[in-house]
Structure 1
Amino acid sequence: MTNTLYTPIEISQWWLRRDFSLIPVQPNSKRNVRGFGIHQDKIQSAERFAVWFDDNSNLAVCASHPKRILDFDDADRYAWWAKKFPNESQSYTERTPNNGYHVFAEFYGESLDGIALVPGVELLQVVLVSPSVVNGKQYARGMGDILRMDSSVVFSHLAKPRRSIPPQRSIIRQGAGKLDQIKSSFSCLDVIQAVNPKIKVRISSRRFLSLPCPFHDDKEPSFWILPERNLWGCHACGIRGDVINLFARLHGLSNSDAIREMGKVL
């Protein structure tokens, strides 16, 4: 990894040449600027980028099919994957502020729809990129270019847990029982209301709650919670997860750090 200096315009042009759209994000946060998002407005020219961005803005990129981003929660999981796939690991990669890794790739072969990956690894369409800063920590720009990967090969090793994948250290320490206790002790709604007690919540059906998304400026509530399974997601952002993922995203933590923090109050 390197932090070779690029101007914001140079960075925007680099992503645009690779068919990524740009999303302006509020300074020192992961919240999109109002009106922008995966299913909302996106920037597709360097000229428009120059209008929206200043030195304090954060930047997210949105991948178009068949490009996606592999999100590794921690260095151990990324190191395992890089050793398993030395050629694929040469694809453009950025280090996140929490010592995770984003690997950008163009996939071919098996469909990406409905792929469930091992804990600690996600397949994303939108991520923050360098030179964004969250909680005072910067995303580190990488080297190289975005490579093509055979999804049927890559995901055959990521689709379910294997003993060769090192479990997160916090999970080893606390045990599966502790994880179940955390998930049963925290509800997704409680976690959000602890951050924003005044957030407006409505019942959209017998099973779902609907509320403004905490990760982008949401004019019409696109965030949902399924209380009976303690799951959440956002139709606009295209993300979803459990209560641990939610706590981690709201507080800018990795999943392993979120488990440690949530475990402290039990």
Structure 2
Amino acid sequence: MIDNKTALLDLPALYIVPTPIGNLGDITQRSLDILHQVDLIAAEDTRHTGRLLSHFGIATKTYALHDHNEQQKAQVLVEKVLAGESIALVSDAGTPLISDPGYHLVTKCRQAGVKVVPLPGACAVITALSASGLPSDRFSFEGFFPAKSKGRKDKLLEIYKAERTCIFYESPHRITDSLADMLEVLGPDREVVLARELTKTFETIHGAPLGELVEWIEEDSNRKRGEMVLLIHGYREDKQADALPDDALRTLKILVQELPLKKAAALVAEIHNLKKNALYKWGLENLE
């Protein structure tokens, strides 16, 4: 083991230390060195982090810093660094602050002139994107979907015409409802990739048009388990939607006054022999 404090040139400082999202072999040597040498580790869940530290023979003290106490405890940690201590910030898995605690602490450190040192490492967003096959030149991470259906639909409508790849986290107990809302708002043809259990034994990365993806996940209950990342292909203009006949659009405008858009689009599609998804997309863009 490196002698404590002899190899860290930037002390005192706050170190942002990523931890594995599954496979323990993904932790970097630099992360291990930092965790060995700092005076304190601020952890989202000290019991969870304690198991990781024990695995690597690290005896550094931990300090609980989570969503419920961060705003109150951040100043305490800032003062420790100002007094000469070194602190590492970790989350339960992956890079801190990415849908995890740490924002208030880092902000207060920077405001106080405390050096903040970020370490590269595991991050489910980037891991999923790199293997998704979706465009990666422009993307946005949107965090977790809202818990309720209306909130999810509002968010999906917000990113409906975004041309970038949009990335969300989702939990196993909400994945079915979230996919149903995605199908209603985005339509069955939008390409979506589901990445689950990344770096773990049952890692799965499956992409398909949304209608097919919903069917695929319903075929096997195991496909609804584990930590999940959903990646949505950016909006691509539907040329068929541009060519919708005027009489069909007039019919849609009349029906949507009395019916939900989805039902109105289906009826117009049947009347005029058109694809309901093209009508539905046109309605989302022009009627709501």
Normalising to structure 1: TM-score of the pair? 0.26
Q: Which of structures 1 and 2 has the larger relative contact order (alpha carbons within 8 angstroms, sep 6+)?
A: 1
Normalising to structure 2: TM-score of the pair? 0.25
Larger radius of gyration: 2
Relative to its length, the structure with more strand (as a share) is: 1
Relative to its length, the structure with more helix (as a share) is: 2
